[in-house]
């Protein structure tokens, strides 16, 4: 086979042309890349054939587009820098200044006015009196002790009058002790049954009002005994408070006098 080899001279002549082409290609590449960079940095440059549209912002006094709402751009406020060097200063100590306390001045108050309570229908004319009975001694004067045991009798008696000192006859006197004994009597009843005019004796000896509204009740125990006695006066639906007393156990004070007064 006959291989034809190019001559060394021809190769030498072709190399300078290839080099020039390579240089031109590199230069064009650099120019194109530079144009891309310039257009990217400023799209509105005259070298850019495809410039992007520019949004038109209306100036002051013109009517803004009703569909577009401008967005407020946040502003940055710089913080006040600290001084180059900061030296702490001592805080003054707060001293406790005593505050004067208010003084209390008492205000004179008017004493409360009490509303008077209505009087009860019946009340005690005075506290019970402890004395010695004399009616039976006068009645049985001169009689032997077998007929009248002077050292045994014990009872309670009294009078009922109104506020003018007049006799109140239409009442009931109820007496009872702690042993279950209950007695009821009326003014003038003893005089009616026995003929004894108590009002004469009690008026002169015991300071009564001199009316016939006297009552008397024998308790049925020895005057040597001390027992509790309870008394009240009743007139229909009206009645007095219960008077609680007690026999003394002494025969020299064997009679308890209880005076009632009708107030209305």
Per-residue buried b or exposed e for 177-196, using 16+ beta carbons within 10 Å of the residue's own CB: beeeeebebebbbbbeeeeb
Token digits for 170? Answer: 């239409």
Q: What is the mean pLDDT of residues 118-144?
A: 78
Token digits for 79? Answer: 């913080």
Query: Could you tell me how far CA 68 lies from the centroid of its own chain?
Result: 66
**Alpha-carbon distance 232 to 244, whole Å?**
9
Tell me if 43 is assigned to some domain: no
Tell me if 224 is assigned to some domain: yes
Q: What is the DSSP string of 15-73?
A: HHHHHHHHHHHHHHHHHHHHHHHHHHH-TTSTT-SSPPPPPPPPPTTSPPPTT--PPPP
Tell me if 9 is assigned to some domain: no
Token digits for 197? Answer: 């005019």
Tell me if 218 is assigned to some domain: yes
Tell me if 21 is assigned to some domain: no
For the stretch 192-241, pLDDT in tens is 655 556 556 555 556 566 567 788 898 988 889 999 999 999 999 999 99
Asked if residue 132 lies in contact with residue 254, where contact means CB atoms within 8 angstroms, the answer is: yes
Where residue 186 sits, what CATH number does that domain have?
2.60.40.1120
How many CA atoms does the CB half-sphere of 256 hold within 13 Å? 25
For the stretch 69-125, pLDDT in tens is 556 556 666 565 555 666 666 666 666 777 777 777 777 777 777 777 888 999 999
Q: What is the DSSP string of 112-146?
A: PPPPPPPPPSEEESS--EEE---HHHHHTTT--TT
Give the residue among 216, 52, 43 at the shortest CA–CA distance from 134. Answer: 216
**Alpha-carbon distance 66 to 127, whole Å?**
109
Tell me if 164 is assigned to some domain: yes
pLDDT band at residue 130 under the 50/70/90 scheme:
very high
pLDDT band at residue 50 under the 50/70/90 scheme:
confident
Is the overall model pTM greater than 0.75, yes or no?
A: no
Q: Which residue has the higher pLDDT, 110 or 185?
A: 185
Residue 211 is inside which H or E element, if any? none
| pLDDT score, position 235 | 96
Mean pLDDT check: name the lowest of 55-64, 72-81, 117-126, 181-190: 55-64
Total structural domains in the chain?
A: 1
Tell me if 137 is assigned to some domain: yes
**Alpha-carbon distance 142 to 187, whole Å?**
28
Counting residues of the chain whose pLDDT is more than 70, the rounded percentage is 63
Asked if residue 185 lies in contact with residue 217, where contact means CB atoms within 8 angstroms, the answer is: yes
| pLDDT score, position 83 | 57
- Residue 151's domain comprises 122-262
Tell me if 78 is assigned to some domain: no
| pLDDT score, position 61 | 47
For the stretch 239-257, pLDDT in tens is 999 999 999 999 889 999 9
């Amino acid at each position: 086979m006959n291989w034809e080899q190019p001559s060394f001279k021809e190769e030498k002549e072709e190399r300078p042309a290839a080099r020039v082409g390579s240089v031109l290609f590199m230069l064009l590449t650099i120019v194109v890349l530079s144009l891309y960079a310039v257009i990217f940095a400023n799209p509105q440059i005259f070298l850019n054939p495809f410039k992007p549209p520019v949004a038109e912002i209306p100036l002051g006094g013109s009517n803004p587009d009703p569909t577009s709402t401008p967005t407020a751009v946040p502003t940055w406020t710089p913080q006040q820098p600290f001084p180059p060097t900061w030296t702490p200063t001592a805080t003054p100590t707060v001293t406790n200044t005593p505050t004067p306390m208010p003084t209390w001045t008492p205000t004179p108050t008017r004493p409360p006015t009490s509303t008077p309570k209505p009087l009860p229908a019946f009340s005690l004319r005075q506290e019970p009196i402890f004395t010695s009975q004399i009616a039976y001694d006068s009645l049985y004067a001169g009689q032997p002790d077998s007929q009248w045991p002077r050292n045994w009798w014990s009872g309670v008696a009294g009078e009922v009058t109104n506020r003018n000192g007049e006799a109140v006859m239409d009442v009931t006197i109820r007496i009872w002790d702690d042993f279950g004994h209950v007695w009821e009597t009326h003014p003038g009843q003893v005089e009616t049954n026995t003929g004894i005019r108590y009002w004469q004796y009690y008026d002169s000896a015991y300071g009564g009002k001199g009316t016939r509204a006297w009552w008397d009740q024998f308790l049925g125990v020895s005057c040597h005994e001390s027992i509790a006695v309870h008394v009240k006066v009743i007139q229909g639906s009206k009645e007095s408070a219960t008077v609680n007393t007690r026999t003394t156990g002494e025969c020299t004070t064997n009679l308890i006098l209880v005076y009632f007064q009708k107030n209305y």
